[in-house]
Amino acid sequence: MSMVQYLPAAGAALLCSAALLSGCAAPRVVRENRPVEYVVFVSAGQPWQNSGIAVRQGEVLHCLAEGTWRDDFGEYGPGGDPDRMQDNFGVNAPANSLLLRLSGQTNRVYAAGEQANIQVERSGHVFLRGNAALSPGARGRLKVTLMPAPDADGDGLSDYEEIFLWHTNPRRRDSNGAGFGDAALVSDLRNRLGGGVLQPAPR
């Protein structure tokens, strides 16, 4: 695979101006810096909890959770109880699994579980909670790492993971021109290999 060349922001701005004058679509700036990591804690048995983390439309939000919470019926990790699915808040997900929503999309809830990559459709703040309407004796908390990251080509894969994890072109939705977008290729790899979400930096 050929090396991808990235424009510094100043060069991209010049190209952007030229493209607008010529009527062409302006290239989007690729940000190859590692995303900033935010760590928050989500308590069991609580309503939606505001993480205080803002995300912008067009970004990809990498979300990883660890730890356990429990109630009178058992103990659960971020993935909840896969044997008990519950329809709460407009999403069907394992009972007591980690859920996420954005304040800009109040009618859309994501099943985050242990790990998720979420394409941010509207800017807002990240809210988190467990998938349980009533949870007698709920206790414990999860540690959640949130990493919002730019996505220059809008394919649902952040620039950083395209460059350093998947080795695809962050400026093209279909890096190799084979007719299958990068997102479909990566989804297939994740299904076959498991994981594949950007991990927090070692401490």
pLDDT at 61: 96
Q: pLDDT tens for residues 98-117? A: 999 999 877 899 999 999 99
What pLDDT score was predicted for residue 104?
80
Provide the token pair at 186: 């990566």
Amino acid, single-letter form, for residue 55: V
Architecture of domain 38-149: Sandwich (2.60)
Give the span between the Cα atoms of 29 and 11, in whole angstroms: 9
Q: How far apart are CA 14 and CA 7, in angstroms?
A: 10
Reported as a single tens digit per residue, the pLDDT across 135-150 is 678 999 999 999 999 9
What distance in Å separates the CA atoms of residue 95 and residue 132, rounded to the nearest whole number?
A: 6
- Residue whose entry in the numeric block shows the structure tokens 């695979």: 1
Q: What is the pLDDT of residue 196?
A: 62
Note the pLDDT of residue 80.
Answer: 95
**Residue ranges in the chain whose pLDDT is less than 50:** 1-24
3-state secondary structure the chain: CCCCCCCCHHHHHHHHHHHHHHCCCCCCCCCCCCCCCEEEEEECCCCCEEEEEEECCCCEEEEEEEEEEEECCEEECCCCEEEEEEEECCEEEEECCEEEEECCCCCCEEECCCEEEEECCCCEEEEEEECCCCCCCCEEEEEEEEEEECCCCCCCCCHHHHHHHHCCCCCCCCCCCCCCCHHHHHHHHHHHHCCCCCCCCCC
Q: Is the pTM above the cut of 0.85?
A: no
